[in-house]
Structures are given as C-alpha cells and as structure tokens.
Amino acid sequence: MNREFKKIALTGLYADPRVAEPMRLIAAHLTGAKLAVLATPDIATELSVMAINAEALPNEVDLIIAVGGDGTMLHAASMTGGIDVPLLGVNHGRLGFLTDVSPDQMLESLDQILGGNYTRESRLRLVSTLELSNGSQISALALNDIVLQRRDTGRMLDFETRIADRYVNTYMGDGLIVATPTGSTAYALSCGGPIIDPQLDAIVVVPICPHTLSVRPIVIPANQAIEVTLLERHDTSAEISVDGHAMGPFGPSDKLLITPSETRITLIHPPGYDYYEILRSKLHWGRDSRKRKFGDGE
C-alpha cells in the first residue's frame, strides 16, 4: 500500500447523524489499515482517534478528509491556512461539487487512493485584504469567493471597481462577487456568472442585481489585482464575506484588495473523476424537464 498519506485528519459536522456514521466508518477503516488518524479534540474521542488542535493540524498531517458537503470542504480549506495540505471530499451533503467521493463507494475509493490510484488537482485561492480607514488590515484566504453585500439595509450600494489599477466601472446594486473557478459554480453562477474550468487561472467578477441591466459579469486573468471602494451614500451599510464567513463591515473610507494567493489548494480525486460528468450530474444537463413521472400532472 502506498504510504504517501501516513497521517490523515478527519473533519465534518459530527453533530449531523448523516455525517457522524460515515466518519466513524472511515476512522475505523483507516485505523485498521495501520494509518495514523487525527481529528480536532471536539470529535477525536467520538471517533477513537488522536486529538490535535486545529492550528497545529496542517503541519502534522499528509491528507485531510472532509465528510459532508461543499461547506465542509471550504472549512477544511480554511483549516490549512497557507499550507498546501491535500483535501479529499466525501459527499454527504446536497450538491457536492467539491466532495466527489460518493457515499456508496466511500471505502473502496479510499483504498484505491491509499494505494496510489488517484489524481491531484491544484486549485486557485484568492487573498482578500480589507484596508480599514484607521490604518489596520484584515486578510483572509478564499477558495470559493469574496462577496461585497448590503448589510442591515434595503438600500442599494454604490461602489467603484478597478482592475490592474485601471478604472472599470462604478456599480449600483446589491453587491459584488469575485470568484475563483472553484467558486464559479456557487453564488456567482446563481447571479448569472459563467462556469470556469478549474484548470484556468482566471477570476470572475459578478455584480449582484445591478441597477443597470447592461452591467455583466467579466472574466479576468488571476494575476490582475482587483480594488473595490464603497462610495458615500446616505444610510450605506455593507460587509465583506469570504467563503461564506463574515470578514467584517465595509465603509466608504475602506478599501478591498483582492489578489491571487501564493499558495494553492490540492484536491485529491478518486479514479474516474470527470469534471464535466459532475456538471452534468449536479446541474441536470441533458435531462428533459418535460418528462414527468405518472401522476405529476400535465
């Protein structure tokens, strides 16, 4: 058996029974294969594995297995910090664009991967830096997207966007999404953005409900920095979120800077992985919506 992955961490929402059972099965399977299995202290005892603090985890393990949905994979990515620890997703969520190991083939896929039969894929990450008016900075890494959105108000936002230090547009709307190829199938897609192949080093900038309908999403090279400033407007209140987690409030005197991260995320895929098959499956491409089961009505 390939011993590239000697220390393996497990993560997932253990409070969810749909996740807890497969986590226990995986932990027992890996332990039986004489591998070192680790988890954060809150679930290590339940899984009968070694406990390790989340801060120390990326320096100690060779692989992180995330059991759940895409949100769990994003959480696992955030646990790595700036360290490129490979991630493997076991799908027990809903869509599962990132968690591509199916529940019914979970242990079989694990054995193949541990035996060296797998593929690696490098995914782009972004750095979101919020430069506050008081001179301080807040930074966070994004695997999916960085979102500027309204906060506690029904009013639209006015904000200016610059790319590679060139003025692009002044938007009026509900906000702005800056997404990686990984995040192009998430919030950005629901707002009319394109799907970007994960092998491309590109970023999509998607306005959220723009006041001017001619304002459309734009795809740019990943090496071009994006700068966003909020314009002064009565009762303006905005915030920044990174991969679904609040980064902080965003005011007219602040600046949001988005750049590519020097570190990337490595995803481990089981044999037979096909990105386009995942798109067909998750987005129901090629299915005739007119065909209904008997009794569904006309």
Give pLDDT tens digits for 1-46.
Answer: 456 899 999 999 999 998 999 999 999 999 999 999 999 999 999 9
Q: How far is CA 163 from CA 197, 257, 266, in A?
A: 21, 10, 27
Higher pLDDT, 134 or 36: 36
Please tell me whether residues 136 and 221 are part of one structural domain. yes
Task: Tell me whether residue 70 is one of the annotated catalytic residues.
Answer: yes
- Enclosing H/E stretch for 178: strand 175-179
Catalytic residue among 16, 70, 111, 235: 70
CA dist., res. 267 & res. 8, Å (int): 14
Do 163 and 64 lie in one domain? The reply is no
91 shares its domain with 145: no
Phi-psi region of 245 (alpha: psi -120 to 50; beta: other; left: phi over 0): beta
243 and 271 co-located in one domain:
no
- Stated as kind and residue range, the H or E segment containing 91 is strand 87-91
Buried b (16+ CB within 10 A) or exposed e, 199-237: eeebbbbbbbebeeeeeebbbbebeeebbbbbeeeeebe
- Assigned domain for 288 exists: no
pLDDT tens digit sequence for 68-95: 999 999 999 999 988 999 999 999 866 6
The reply to whether 272 falls in a domain is yes
Of residues 237, 270, 255, 284, the one with CA closest to residue 89: 270
CATH of the domain at 139: 2.60.200.30
Q: What is the pLDDT of residue 99?
A: 86
* Helix residue ranges per DSSP H, 229-294: 275-283
> CA-to-CA distance for 91 and 70, rounded, in angstroms?
8
pLDDT at residue 297, as a whole number: 47
Task: Evaluate whether residue 298 is within a structural domain.
Answer: no
- Domain with 151, as residue range(s), is 126-260
Query: Does residue 292 lie within any of the structural domains?
Result: no
CB 145 within 8 A of CB 178: yes
